[in-house]
């Protein structure tokens, strides 16, 4: 019998998104007792420098700290890894090259999921950090779809405010005005831009915005990752 893999979570980007992914892994696992669950090792390294600041504004690079964390997980016994931060995938190749175990590429997982379940979709709306938008991560991954982002004003004053603002998700606020801002932007993408799917382009977004808030399918990359990791 093939030995069961050990899941490593390169976390801390941010801590609540890391916890959310672990809960998704638990929920996605077919289990009737504790021992049926996957051995999961979490390194929630919240000291990894901000990815958006590094990509857009010349801030400290997160790469060295991400590599150190990935290597910690490998030494601890992880046999497959996942990063619960979409923007962090900008540095995917460097992190993957530093270790000898595979990192599940979340954006490729999204591409495969859409190709399988929504093969006729044309326009895909993405709610992400500005760094993810500008990096082209989704544009490269979803080559067969037209990827649509909010305009500059909505991106800065609604999406980024909902994630990083004083009353935003990073501050622990996932309801009220934060949720409303994300719903407003998603509504614009759906009703004015004609998006047939909305993709969570930042792991914090799914902490506030839920499938029932939208009139089109809501694609959560971390749920896709959890399903892959528990059923492969």
Q: How far apart are the first and last CA of the chain?
A: 14
Report which of 203, 202, 193, 157 is spatially closest to residue 216, judged by C-alpha positions.
Answer: 193
Active site residue 202: yes
Q: Tokens in use for 193?
A: 């831009």
3-state SS class at 166: coil
The span from the CA of 10 to the CA of 108, in Å, is 18
3-state SS class at 123: strand
Q: Which of 25, 70, 85, 216 is catalytic?
A: 85
Q: Which of 78, 197, 202, 216 is catalytic?
A: 202
Cβ distance 74 to 98 under 8 Å?
no
In DSSP notation, 186-226 reads: HHHHHHTT--SEEEE-STTGGGT--GGG-SS-EE-HHHHHH
Residues 6+ apart with CB under 8 A from 82: 7, 8, 9, 10, 21, 103, 104, 106, 225, 229
Catalytic residues: 85, 202
């Amino acid at each position: 019998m093939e030995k069961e893999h050990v899941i490593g979570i390169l976390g801390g980007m941010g801590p609540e998104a890391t916890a959310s992914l672990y809960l998704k892994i638990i929920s996605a696992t077919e289990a009737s007792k504790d021992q049926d669950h996957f051995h999961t090792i979490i390194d929630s390294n919240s000291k990894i420098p901000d990815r958006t600041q590094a990509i857009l504004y010349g801030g400290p690079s997160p790469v060295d700290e991400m590599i150190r964390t990935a290597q910690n997980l490998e030494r601890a016994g992880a046999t497959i890894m996942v990063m619960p931060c979409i923007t962090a995938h900008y540095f995917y190749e460097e992190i993957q090259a530093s270790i000898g175990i595979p990192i599940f590429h979340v954006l490729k997982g999204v591409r495969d999921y859409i190709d399988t379940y929504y093969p006729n979709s044309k326009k895909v709306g993405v709610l992400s950090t500005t760094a993810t938008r500008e990096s082209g991560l989704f544009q490269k991954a979803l080559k067969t779809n037209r990827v649509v982002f909010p305009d500059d004003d909505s991106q800065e004053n609604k999406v980024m405010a909902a994630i990083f603002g004083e009353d935003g998700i990073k501050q622990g606020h996932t309801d009220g005005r934060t949720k409303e801002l994300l719903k407003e932007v998603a509504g614009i993408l759906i009703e004015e831009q004609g998006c047939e799917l909305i993709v969570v382009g930042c792991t914090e977004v799914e902490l506030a915005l839920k499938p029932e808030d939208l009139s089109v399918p809501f694609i959560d990359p971390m749920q896709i990752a959890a399903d892959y990791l528990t059923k492969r």
